Structure 1
């Protein structure tokens, strides 16, 4: 059975082939996003934001199917991996430009990085001795510790200082962790590819443990981001090992970590604001009057919150109306605190809607500490409005519809949006099920 060999980062690529290949990889996300938008009958506006952040443009499309989001995100990851491979090969040929090669996977800056990289001439190489097969415990420990330090520093700068949760934190940072750990561990004695991969994953795992122990992050957020980060780290590890193997440019490659703060600042300056509209509907075997009574009931919501509660995400517990009619205040008690809402529509037995004035954290992180310094729990996922519509059916039943509007401010939006939609859908389903149960029980008791 033939062995499938993947392209290696240790190869080289001349300026001509790179100038032809890089644009194809750079434009792959734009092509996929453009085709998906046009296929849905939506006009494609090819403005600056489209060329810089194509995934964000697709995510902003109303009613985006989950399949389209998954296809576009997967295509972008594959293109980024290919661009990393060709860019590092191009840097190998030039003997310089490794920081540009690392930046070539980050949206908004990758086009400029690839253009500059394509124009680099061949510099005089100062080759050292190529590493021989073996293992240096000291270098392996250095690589792991450096990877841990990068993770902690990235969270301190990006999340806690700049308030930015984006591509640079969830993709570029683990990629650079892989590069740094892979290079430092292999710069004198060359480990196998598998050993390097295990070492990179160990650095990433210890880095996340450090985040938990320093109360910088909670376990849930880390677990949700782990699949994306692990892929980026493994690709970076292969690149770092390759740089060590060709025996030049290593110091400049590791120095590319210095670009991270600039990338964090850039993303903080243009944060995403992805609107998410959610809908739900249920038929209640009771008249609208009973459904309205259940809707304005102050009793606790029955039923276990399920996966949402287990993950520490906010879920509704009960609500309380302070007055009646438009302008009345509604207090929504959640597992993480109390939301303050103002009634914007009040039509007994037909329509109730409210706007959120203040809301509790979106989640409660799992941590050994009482308080975790995670800015993302507040302000990065918000509910703006919620509305209920009651429709009388010919059979005497009532159809209850609910619609809610939210805003997500975390990149990559196509990675986090499906997770947010799942939590929203589970919460809405639980609320509708509780209202159905209360209304039908009241209808039976009134007979």
Structure 2
């Protein structure tokens, strides 16, 4: 019996410490609700997923969101360590240990891990699997943490969207996760690729849960990030197989803040100039009236609307002539524009003084802490030129200037140009339809 009491004490201590750690997350969430919300109730979501409950507070400052998430990661790490240690002593394998860090399931997993009797000694292969499972869990947690910390430092702190965030971060996520999951034994190339992609995917999901990014931005960045994170996974696995010191791959993470600072100090500023035209079966006078009309744009928006990107709804002139104010109503808000050129039936140009947000992030929260929706893709001057043609026809030309301040420019510029093309085509189609309708 004396040999059983120490084990009983250890199991009881494990249970008490685990449940205390889980309850502490509810305590942190409750503190956030009391400090920043007067509407939030202590519902089922609060008790089962306190992190999600705290992150749904619309007035929660980003820094507090970061602190809460960092604490949740620490809790997950400690639960994983304790659960794997107990599973190794009882030869219970790793499934329950993995479940101990999964919200909702973790209570039952911890309880079963604590009360189930120990098994007989397992063979070396089973022990190796348990060890590998521990490394997989640690690799996934490290990858998730790196994604979130990179966005917090680069985007939220420095306002930098560039190679550091979209290239170096997924590369280092791949190296870090690829190394950790293969540290004890080689899992193979296929399993490593799945795990590094899972780490990046779970990290992206954490950004949505933390209201740091929206779903659309993550989808747009995925084609760039996935191949890079896989390349990092290959290198990380190679370092693990070669038995390099753990500090070798992990120390490279320390250079990220410096890269973010440099990109914030020297942001990209790529000009995008576009020109389009359309032939309309109506005289210039009719086209001009359709151009300055305040009626809503009729054609249904396509790709921009699906992606949550800004698209025009209507434009309203407050006056006529040079210096007049034009209100450009977009799906994301209203832009204030000033007329810079005014020649009735010939020329209309205006400059944007106050931008509408470039996109509206798809998110379960009312507010997303994503700086890129404002100031990173801007519009300068837009010019409409009407050229009379024979047979009471008119050629309508439109040129516009934009600036893109997100790297890598070669990746994001085609997306920006596609959005511009969709919006301009819709505007021209609407003007053509209204002009020709009035002319018939």
- Relative to the length of structure 1, the TM-score reads 0.69
The correspondence of residues 59-138 of structure 1 with structure 2, limited to 5 A, is: 136-138=132-134
| Aligned-partner Cα distance in 2 for 1:331–1:297 | 12
Q: Check if 1:218 corresponds to 2:214.
A: yes
Gaps of 5+ in 2: 1-126
Q: 1:281 aligns with which of 277, 283, 287?
A: 277
Which residue in the other structure is 2:147 paired with?
A: 151
What does residue range 355-366 of structure 1 map to in structure 2 within 5 Å?
355-366=351-362
Tell me how far apart the structure 2 counterparts of residues 376 and 346 of structure 1 sit (CA, whole Å): 33
Match of 1:258 in 2: 254
Q: 1:228 offset after TM fit, Å? A: 1.0
Alpha-carbon distance between aligned partners in 2 of 1:374 and 1:156, rounded to the nearest angstrom: 10
Which whole-Å deviations, capped at 9, do the CAs of 1:166-201 have from their partners, x for residues lacking one?
011001000000000011111112110110010000
Question: Offset at 1:227?
Answer: 1.2
Equivalent position SS for 1:189: coil
Shift of 1:252: 2.1
Partners of 1:317 and 1:335 within 8 A in 2: yes
Q: Is the 8 A contact 1:133 1:191 kept in 2?
A: no
Residue 133 of structure 1: how far off its partner (Å):
8.5
Distance 1:398 1:303 in 2: 21
Q: Which position in structure 1 is the counterpart of 2:406?
A: 410
* Gap regions ≥5 residues in structure 1: 1-131
**Deviation of the 1:250 alpha carbon:** 2.5
**Secondary structure at the counterpart of residue 136 of structure 1:** helix
Give deviations 1:324-352, integer Å, cap 9, x for gaps.
10000000000000010000000000000
CA distance in 1, matches of 2:164, 2:176: 16
Partner of 2:203: 207
Task: Tell me which residue corresponds to 1:320.
Answer: 316
1:194 is aligned to 2:194: no
CA distance in 1, matches of 2:389, 2:311: 30
Aligned residues of 1:301 and 1:316 also touching (Cα < 8 A): yes
Residue among 231, 234, 259 paired with 1:235: 231
> CA separation in 1, counterparts of 2:244 and 2:403?
46
Q: Partners of 1:360 and 1:346 in 2: how far apart?
A: 23
Report the equivalent of 1:299: 295
- Aligned to 1:297, what secondary structure does the other structure show? coil
Aligned to 2:348: 352
Conserved 8 A contact 1:272-1:411: yes
Q: Distance in 2 between matches of 1:262 and 1:359?
A: 31
Q: Measure the CA separation in 2 of the matches of 1:250 and 1:243.
A: 9
CA distance in 2 between counterparts of 1:196 and 1:302 reads 50
| Deviation, structure 1 residue 253 | 1.2
- CA distance, structure 1, for counterparts of residue 214 and residue 411 of structure 2: 19
Q: Deviations over 1:111-152 (max 9, x none)?
A: xxxxxxxxxxxxxxxxxxxxx996610100000000000000
Once residues 352 and 338 of structure 2 are traced to their aligned partners in structure 1, the CA distance between those partners, rounded to angstroms, is 6
What is the total number of aligned residue pairs between the two structures? 313
- What's the Cα RMSD here? 1.1
Aligned with 2:159: secondary structure?
A: coil
For residues 282 and 219 of structure 2, what CA distance do their matches in structure 1 show? Answer: 43
Q: CA offset at residue 249 of structure 1?
A: 2.9
Higher RCO (C-alpha 8 Å, min separation 6): 1
Post-superposition offset of 1:279: 1.2
**Following superposition, which runs of at least 4 residues in structure 1 exceed 2 angstroms of deviation?**
132-135
Deviation of residue 240 (structure 1)? 0.6
Distance in 2 (CA, whole Å) between partners of 1:264 and 1:378 is 19
